[in-house]
Amino acid sequence: MQTIITLPAACDFHIHTRQGVLMEMVAPRIAEGGVSLCYVMPNLKPPITSTEQALEYKAQLERLAPNVTFLMSLYLCPELTPEEIRKAKKHGIVGVKSYPRGVTTNSESGIESYAIYYPVFKAMEEVGLILNLHGELPSDADQDICVMNAEEKFLMHLKQLHNDFPKLKIVLEHATTKAAVDTVKALGDTIGCTITIHHLQLTVDDWAGQCHNFCKPVAKFPHDRQALRDVVLEGHPRFFLGTDSAPHPAYLKECAHSCAGVFTTPLAIPYLATILDSFGAINCLRKFACENGKKFYGVSEEEGKYREITLVKEALLVPHSYSFDESVEERRGSIQLPLELILAVFTFIPARDLCRYLSLSKALRYEIRKIIVERIQRKFRTGNNYLLVTIEPLDTYSSGPTHIFDLMFCDVDILSLNTRFKINDKTFDNSSPIKHVKIIGRKLQGTERWETILHNSHISIGSTWLSIFDPSQTIKNVSLHVFSPFDLKHETTYVSKGSLTFKINLEPESIMWWNSNIDDYSTIFVSNMIREFDDFQSLIVMSLVEEVIVNAGVLLTAIEEKWQDDVESVVVEDPED
Ligand SMILES: NC(=O)N[C@@H](CC(=O)O)C(=O)O
């Protein structure tokens, strides 16, 4: 390799710039990595599905990285109409990304069939928007589909789409197989293909058991990698760089279920040059990383953003990690997020889990708790905000950590919640920070069944816990306990009944009770729940929150689809009414 190369800054036609503090870490590093133009993926939480969202996201990125050209994409989903496509084109949006449902990070809203999108594709073909395909089928044991053949099995869809929309420009993203390379080459000039840097280096042996190399699609066989290398060496004009750089917090990579994604942005072009050099393709760098993609997309840097870079061949220590400010304090102090989730889980803590946990050393328990709490809080920070609302019958203060968790959407001003939590004293406040609560459903233990709770006050539940009561008894009185993930000790619990105006009267040492003739706006006396939710139980609650958040996208879609009409309004009702 020459020891110094000067060339135009590169173009990365597939990058995940994320949001929040992660975006603040990533965006300035794009230029550092030698890239001046990038095509931004829309798989945020929530996904980018409208022109307005995309433009707002672009503005945020530009504030963080003013010297980079950001090309924006929309997320293919049912909300995307042909009209939105035309509007997007008018406002400079470049393409639409399709994720098959559930195959990768934030693909819960992904597509299940292309058929319903044909009018959208037609509009895209007409106005000249690019279709970007995450080319994998979801794993399906019955069909013998798994990560190793998910891409190859997808290729028939690429062929079909090209056949049906020959003028639509389609990019098969992050190809990993010889089959994909051959297919793209065999199709017409409107079909392009991105290749990541890491797929030019890795094979299956490199990610099996090594979480930092795990991404979707996974790296495949050596002969597949060879096919990728060959097509770069050939300088084929329809193959170009798309790093698919996809950062995740370390705790989400270095864990039992590692998130898919390899983060390469800060060192993108030095890394690419090193890999190309290793198989004699350094002379292909310019075409692959700077020219082919721009030609295929018909784009160039925005005014004043073109620049050159110089690569120098010398030793470089790759940082072990890149930090971003996720401190709890920062999150506590600075956010005001719209709360948008309500949980619906009815559950017990299995005794065996309890024993396992309690038998651990205190130090280990502390560590576990810390990790879980941090994981949850980070989700809250990067996504939306959540409150856990439990509905309980009378006397549940004696029942331990057994609750029905209901799924709710609320707008919550976390700052004022936080302030109030800090008081931790007798408090009475008429101005609840909780607005627009709507309870949308519950899930019964041991079933996959979700129900809209129109009358929370009449929840029949069958459980061993309830057998201490009359098993046929329906719960006549309910309370809503609202937990904030930022109130780690659950020192404060809002309890209410039959009303959305949360009136709070915290009596730290009292037990929970309420007046049986309570009306909608009566004050409710509650304990501060510390006794009920000790450290361990808090952990359990947090774990439940996490579990539900993980599934929330899927659940919410299912619930909302089924009970669209029912969930429009608040449904907490007083049984006595
Ligand atoms: N490539 C990945 O493994 N992950 C991407 C999503 C994607 O492009 O599949 C991510 O957003 O994390």
Is residue 576 situated within a structural domain? no
Mutate to test the pocket of ligand 1, among 104, 173, 212 (most ligand atoms within 8 A of CB): 104
Of residues 403 and 212, more confidently modeled:
212
Is residue 574 situated within a structural domain? no
Cα–Cα distances (Å) from 197 to 13, 219, 270, 288, in that order, read 12, 11, 10, 11
| Closest CA relative to residue 70, chosen from 311, 322, 299, 382 | 299
Q: How confident is the model at residue 532 (pLDDT cuts 50, 70, 90)?
A: very low
CATH of the domain at 238: 3.20.20.140
Question: What does the pLDDT read at residue 20?
Answer: 87
CB burial class (10 A; 0-12, 13-18, 19+) of residue 463? middle
**Quick one: 232 and 346 in the same domain?**
no
> Closest ligand 1 atom, CA of 215?
3
**Quick one: 436 and 464 in the same domain?**
yes
Atom 6 in ligand 1: residue holding the nearest Cα? 105
| Closest CA relative to residue 269, chosen from 251, 246, 285 | 285
**Quick one: 171 and 79 in the same domain?**
yes
Compute the average pLDDT of residues 228-232: 98
**Quick one: 287 and 265 in the same domain?**
yes
- The verdict on the CB of residue 498 being under 6 Å from ligand 1 is no
**Quick one: 338 and 390 in the same domain?**
yes
**Quick one: 192 and 282 in the same domain?**
yes
pLDDT per residue as tens digits for the range 185-212: 999 999 999 999 999 999 999 999 899 9
Is residue 318 situated within a structural domain? yes
- Distance between CA atoms of residues 96 and 121, nearest Å: 9
Mutate to test the pocket of ligand 1, among 23, 39, 43 (most ligand atoms within 8 A of CB): 43
pLDDT at 408 over 50: no
pLDDT at 350 over 60: no
The last residue of a domain, from among 309, 326, 343? 326
**Quick one: 337 and 277 in the same domain?**
no
**Quick one: 265 and 378 in the same domain?**
no
- The verdict on the CB of residue 215 being under 6 Å from ligand 1 is yes
The last residue of a domain, from among 311, 326, 341? 326
Is residue 339 situated within a structural domain? yes
pLDDT at 539 over 80: no
Query: Would you call 233 helix, strand, or coil by DSSP?
Result: helix
- The verdict on the CB of residue 104 being under 6 Å from ligand 1 is yes
- The verdict on the CB of residue 107 being under 6 Å from ligand 1 is no
Is residue 435 situated within a structural domain? yes
Of residues 44 and 410, more confidently modeled:
44
Is residue 166 situated within a structural domain? yes
How many whole angstroms from 356 Cα to the centroid of ligand 1? Answer: 34
- The verdict on the CB of residue 169 being under 6 Å from ligand 1 is no
Mutate to test the pocket of ligand 1, among 23, 105, 111, 264 (most ligand atoms within 8 A of CB): 105
**Quick one: 174 and 298 in the same domain?**
yes
pLDDT per residue as tens digits for the range 491-515: 333 333 322 222 222 222 222 222 2
Q: How confident is the model at residue 328 (pLDDT cuts 50, 70, 90)?
A: very low
For the chain, the domain total comes to 2
pTM of whole model > 0.80? no
Question: What does the pLDDT read at residue 378?
Answer: 53
| Mean pLDDT estimate for the chain | 67
Minimum mean pLDDT range among 14-18, 33-37, 359-363: 359-363
Of residues 187 and 553, more confidently modeled:
187
> Closest ligand 1 atom, CA of 16?
11
Of residues 340 and 354, more confidently modeled:
354
- The verdict on the CB of residue 136 being under 6 Å from ligand 1 is no
Query: Would you call 185 helix, strand, or coil by DSSP?
Result: helix
Q: What percent of the chain has pLDDT over 90?
A: 45
**Quick one: 536 and 563 in the same domain?**
yes
CB–CB of 36/306 below 8 Å?
yes
> Closest ligand 1 atom, CA of 104?
9
CB–CB of 47/77 below 8 Å?
yes
Is residue 247 situated within a structural domain? yes
Mutate to test the pocket of ligand 1, among 244, 248, 252, 265 (most ligand atoms within 8 A of CB): 244
- The verdict on the CB of residue 16 being under 6 Å from ligand 1 is yes
**Quick one: 407 and 281 in the same domain?**
no
Is residue 228 situated within a structural domain? yes
pLDDT per residue as tens digits for the range 83-105: 999 999 999 999 999 998 777 76
CB burial class (10 A; 0-12, 13-18, 19+) of residue 49? buried
Query: Would you call 314 helix, strand, or coil by DSSP?
Result: coil
Mutate to test the pocket of ligand 1, among 23, 26, 195, 216 (most ligand atoms within 8 A of CB): 216
* Per-residue b or e along 56-93, where b marks 16 or more CB atoms closer than 10 Å to that residue's CB: ebbebbeebbebbbbbbbbbbbeebeeebbeebbeeeb
**Quick one: 150 and 289 in the same domain?**
yes
The last residue of a domain, from among 326, 341, 376? 326
Question: What does the pLDDT read at residue 296?
Answer: 98
- The verdict on the CB of residue 69 being under 6 Å from ligand 1 is no
How large is the ipTM? 0.95
Domain range spanning residue 359?
A: 333-569
- The verdict on the CB of residue 105 being under 6 Å from ligand 1 is yes
Compute the average pLDDT of residues 544-553: 43
